[in-house]
Structure 1
Amino acid sequence: MNKPILLLFSLSILFLTVIISPVSADVLPPKKQINFGISGDDVVCESGMFKVIKDRTNSVSCVNVKTVSKLVSLGWAKPVDETKLNDAIAKLTLSTGTINQLILIPISSDFGKQISKVSVGSYDFVFDVCASTQTIVSPSILIRSDSETKHYELSETVSPNSCVTSAVIIKASNPDSINAILQNKGDISQTILSLSEKVESLKLQLQDAKKSFGKENTEENKMIGTKIIDLRKQLNDTREDLQRIYFALYTPDKAKFVPQKLSFLGTPIEGESAVKISVSPSVASLNSYNVFFEACAGMKQVRLPVISISSDFESIDVKMGEKISPNTCQMSSAKIIATDPESISVNPAGNADSSIQVDELEVKINDLQKQLTSEKELLKILIHNPNRPENFEEQLTLHVEKITTLRNDVISAKSELSKILYLTYR
């Protein structure tokens, strides 16, 4: 009598297991993101997935977009925003791009120490990732054979109506079973592009506001100062959202890093300075003051300028929102509460280490990208050469291995960069 009920219960569990299991790994799983310090509200779901709250545990989960309504009706997930869900479903039909196989060659195991780990039955799989009319950020490819399944993520962005060549080693007993699928549905790429455009727009608005800001203590300047504060907050919030997505996108699932709250107190960057220009009462609240200040860089660029403003009541860190070029200054403003306005002081927060790390990582990423591009060009020349050399297969494998190593190095560096920027702007 109980067997049918037990069977139905088992099938229900199996059903739920199948529909919530991800088919790709574009971004870190929700639990990993939360462990890394990202709040449940800010968790990013991979392409084709939708964020829901489990009804029983009140925890975050990313589920297949097509199954959200079913999970809600079953009581497994709490009700969701139908407009957002419909938008996500609509994006599933977008054609973001294609994968074109260029060459597939078996790897021999009797040449070169660099491929000593590669066994017979492995293949060099060279392919093009081509975007349609939409930019693809960090293309995610699922490569399958009868012996192995690999998730492959490109470190670069594919521009509209263009292709990027890449390569991977995959095992197969039957090479005809090897196929590749582009998993990006366009949702993450669209979000990143939208946030990037918003960052650029806010930067321009902030620059215009600063240009029109004067030193005189006038009502107009007070309004401009308030606008600068608001724009800077919007810019930092948007940058935080953008870097959080990049962090979740580039960080490997097995990463051990657990972020802690950044401290901006420390030794000031050499040559960096911050000077209080004026202090005026704010109409926002009692004992609230508008502080106008100038932040300058010396011989070295200040990549992540943060200014510490203190009073006899509180201390705040002001994240400027844009870098300060060498031997230049930026004017900005902030609000602070003080019993005595004379107690207000302005100083550099001393986040020199983060600025240096960001500069070094950007240089490293740029250098690695150049090496990767060069290696891919050499690969293209090799595979399109009608007069292939005798050691063609050996050269091909060496190029594939170099591309794989460089790609991993780029992704690792981007993960570290986005981590620093995310923690700075959050």
Structure 2
Amino acid sequence: MAIALITLAAGQGTRMMSDLPKVLHQIGRAPLLAHALASARSLEPARVIVVAGHGADQVGKAAVKIAPEAEIVLQEEQLGTGHAVAQALPALEGFEGRVIVLYGDTPFIAPETLAQMAASDAAVTVLGFETADPGRYGRLVTQGAMLERIVEFKDATDEERAITLCNSGVIACDAALLGALVTGLSNDNASGEYYLTDIVAAARARGLTAQVVTCDEAETLGINTRAELARAEAQFQARARAEALENGVTMVDPQTVYFALDTYLGSDVVIGPNVVFGPDVTVESGAQIEAFCHLEGCHISRGATVGPFARLRPGAELAEDVHIGNFVEVKNSVLAEGVKVGHLTYLGDADIGAHTNIGAGTVTCNYDGVMKHRTAIGAQAFIGSDTMLVAPVTVGDGALTGSGSVITEDVPADAIALGRAKQVNRNGLAGKLFSKLRAEKERMKKGS
């Protein structure tokens, strides 16, 4: 059966105390909305609709970046979840299949849970969870295996508030039926809002079936405050670390390693303490990341070593057996097999050939104040320590640059390039200079 997703992402999130729309706050270096959509897209939906409201332009751009197929609809007034779904219904005109309604601020619902909802043969299926502290959640009122209705906390009796089976808000329903039920919603309740949850009672009144799929309470965590965001980050990191260990990754001190939503690590990767993964990082099997590294937007191949104290920025591509040492930064550069960059170096917008050695203190001077330019270094070249490569510039295969050189012109293959001023020694001048300086210092002290 075809699946369509409606993700509700229109709320302002006033308790976040932020100008940023709530669903764009991040855990695992990705917006809450990205987490919700990542799980749902595992169902391979035919349609993805995001309902935006507060900060609609920002939310829409983020949603399309996450899911290029997403359609954005606007909820100009926030009149409840039922009203939000009603805004999405015109975009589903002609769709035949099952619709799952999700929430952009509920990031942890597992793909397996959503698959159960998609597979349910009930007319309406609700995702519920058992909790010892129901708080202000809506309650699921059941009779045997059937779900009778959902009661919001504000409208619940004392007996209903004693129920511990609670509503997550996630609902699955046939598209045509969903349209009919939502159209008939009323806002005659304590909040004056159109509750999507009322479609359960409406379906039962028609003699249709309604059921509950249950999940662990942790999956239903919604984010409304900065404190909840921090707890969600801790929950995400704990889960990511556990998955990495299960998948054959070694972490010297797991609690100090921080992952992004899309971090990919192969088996037998070794990670030292205090390593931070930003978005879009792939580390292949057998690579080693030493302590205090920060990685983002990079690809590290089998057998490569990085760090300690290294930074890989977006566009860094490391081939097999590349070595990146301490205090090295690489950005938008491709390093071929066996390249060695040991110490205190910046490589930006560069292409480095196989088995080339980059000496300590080397800098590719890639920015002229207006434009970025590339540096190309061939295979088996040797770049002497403290070489400044002023791009655009090319160093050929097997070439060598002398330490302390400023390279402003192309260097042919197998050539030696020296770009530094001639050294001049003035015998005895140092002593005279120091004596003069000490006398001047003493004079200044007496004068003060």
- TM-score, reference length from structure 2: 0.23
User: Which structure's residues are more often helix, by fraction?
Assistant: 1
Task: Report 1 or 2 for greater relative contact order, CA contacts < 8 Å, sequence distance ≥ 6.
Answer: 1
- TM-score, reference length from structure 1: 0.24
